[in-house]
Amino acid sequence: MYDVIIIGGGPAGASAAIYTARGNLKTLVIDKAPGTGALALTHKIANYPGVEGELSGKELLDKMRRQAESFGAEFIQTTISAVDVEDEEKAVFTAHGTFEAKAVIVATGAKGRNRMLPGEEELLGRGVSTCATCDGAFYEGKHVAVIGDTEEALEEAHALTKFTDKITFLVPRADLQGVEGTPELPNTEIKFRTRPLEIIGNSSVEGLRLRTAEGNEEVLSVDGVFVFLSGSKPGTDFLDGQVPLDDEGFMILDEFMQSSVPGVFGAGEVRKTPVKQAVVAAADGAIAAMAVDRYINKRSKVVPQYK
C-alpha cells in the first residue's frame, strides 16, 4: 500500500514525486515509456528556470527523476490496463501486477495525433517542434513553416514572429478554427487550403513538401517546421468513466488539481492548460502533490514546503 501512485513520469509526474516523497509520503511513479514523452523528445531547452545553458529534454527529465528518487520515490516502467479509484483505497492494474494507494495523481500528458507527417517523428527535436515558446529562439533570423488549423496555431505563429525572419503558415482548411477573418502577422505568409505532405531532411529539417490550394505539389525550403495540427488528446482513456472528464477528455479539476472523486488528482496536460510548457506541468505537479498531502493527512489547508 502506497500513500500515492503517480501515473506518468513526465515533468508533472516527476515534480509531484519530488514533493510527495520529500513530504514523507510513500510514492510510486508508474511510467510506461520514460523516453517518449513530449519533454523527453525535446532536443534543446534553454528557458527552464534555474537551469543555465542548454540541455536536452531527456537530460532535464533525468535530473527531475533522480531528485525524486533521492527523496525515496520509486519508479517503475509498465503498462496500465485499468484503475479502480471509486473506493477509498485506489487500485492500479498493470502488466506487473496490482498496486494500491490512498491517492492517485494522473499525469499522463497528451497523446499525439493518430497520423504524423512522413519525416515528422524522425526529425522531431532536429528542426521539427511543437512548441514555439520553447524553441523559437533557436530560429533567430531563419525561415520556418508553421502547420496548423486552430487559434492555438495562430498564437504559436505570433510567438515565432519575435525571432524568425520569415514564416510560411500552412492551413490545411479554408480557415482557422476559432478565428474570424484572415489574421495579419509580421513577416508571415498565410496559405489556406495548403496541405503538408512530407517533412524533408536527413540530420535536420531541409524542407517541406506540400500540395497547394490549386492541387500542385511544391517543395518549400525552410530551416524548421512547427506543427500545431488539431488532434492532440489527453491520455485519460484508462479512467473509464470513473472520473469526470470534459467533452475533449480533459480532467475537470479545481484550483488544487483535485477532481470531484476524493483522492484523485490530475496535473499537466490532462487538464486544459492555457499554455503547454514543462514549467507549467511541473508547477501543476507540485500543487497536486501538496493537495495530496492535505488529503492524506486530513489537513484543513495545503501546507507549502519551504525547506
**205-255 confidence digits (pLDDT tens):** 999 999 999 999 999 999 999 998 866 678 898 898 999 999 888 999 999
**Residue with the larger pLDDT of the pair 296 and 277:** 296
What is the location of CATH 3.50.50.60 in the chain? 2-112+232-296, 128-228
Per-residue model confidence (pLDDT) at position 180:
79
Class of residue 192 by CB neighbours under 10 A (exposed 0-12, middle 13-18, buried 19+): middle
Q: Is the pLDDT of residue 307 over 70?
A: no
3 among known catalytic residues: no
Beta-carbon contacts of 98 under 8 Å, excluding residues fewer than 6 positions away, are 91, 92
Say if CB 233 and CB 111 are below 8 A apart: yes
**Active-site position among 131, 149, 284, 293:** 131
Cell numbers 527523476 correspond to 65
Rg (alpha carbons) of the chain, rounded to whole number: 21
Per-residue model confidence (pLDDT) at position 113:
65
**Active-site position among 31, 62, 84, 134:** 134
pTM for this predicted structure = 0.72
Q: Which amino acid, residue 243?
A: V
Q: Is the pLDDT of residue 36 over 70?
A: no
CATH topology of domain 128-228: FAD/NAD(P)-binding domain (3.50.50)
- Could you give the CA distance from residue 276 to residue 201 in angstroms, rounded to a whole number? 27
Per-residue model confidence (pLDDT) at position 230:
65
- CB atoms near residue 226 (< 10 Å): 27
- Could you give the CA distance from residue 251 to residue 175 in angstroms, rounded to a whole number? 29
Percent with pLDDT over 70 in the chain? 96
**Residue with the larger pLDDT of the pair 133 and 49:** 49
131 among known catalytic residues: yes
CATH topology of domain 2-112+232-296: FAD/NAD(P)-binding domain (3.50.50)
Give the H or E element holding residue 67: helix 57-70
Per-residue model confidence (pLDDT) at position 295:
97
Per-residue model confidence (pLDDT) at position 34:
78
Per-residue model confidence (pLDDT) at position 253:
97
Per-residue model confidence (pLDDT) at position 305:
77
**Active-site position among 3, 31, 135, 293:** 135
